[in-house]
Amino acid sequence: MPQQRKNIQFRVYPESVYGFWFDCTIYRTAKHLRKAVKNRGGNPTNDGVRGIVQHFRVIRNGRYTKQLGHIHLCESDLSAEVLSHESAHAALNWADHMKINVRDQTPDKTGFGMSEDSGEERFAYALGRICSQLSHQVWEHDLVAIPE
C-alpha cells in the first residue's frame, strides 16, 4: 500500500522569529481541514471552507506562550487570494493583540510619508511577512497551482 503524504506543518511570524507566531498546517484535503478545526473546538460553517485562522492563546507552565493561533489551509486551494485572505486574518489578530491602531498614519520626520513605526505600516509589514512565509512554504513543497 502506498504511503500517504503527511500534512505540512510550520510556523509563521508577523515580526521577528523571537516574537509571536501562528502555527500553520496545510492539509491534504478539505475534509482533513474541517476535522482538524473541529478537533480544536472550531465549527467550519460549510463544506466550501478554503482556509481558517483560529485565534487562541496557549498557557504552558503557568505562562502564555507566544502562539497566537493556528492557520489551517487546504492543498486543493492555495491561491494567492486564499493565502492573502488568511494572512490578513492572522495579521489583524496580531495587531489586536499588540494593541496596534491599524489606522495610525503618523508622519515620518520629513512629513511626506508615514513613520515606519506607525500602526498602519507595522500592520502592512506584518501582513506581508505572513503572506510571504505562507507563499514560501507552498513553493518549497511544490504545491503551486499555475492558473491556465
Residues 60-87 have pLDDT tens digits of 999 999 999 999 999 988 999 999 999 9
- The pair phi, psi for residue 42, each rounded to 5°, is -90, 175
**Mean pLDDT across 22-29:** 95
Report pTM. 0.87
- The pair phi, psi for residue 40, each rounded to 5°, is -95, 15
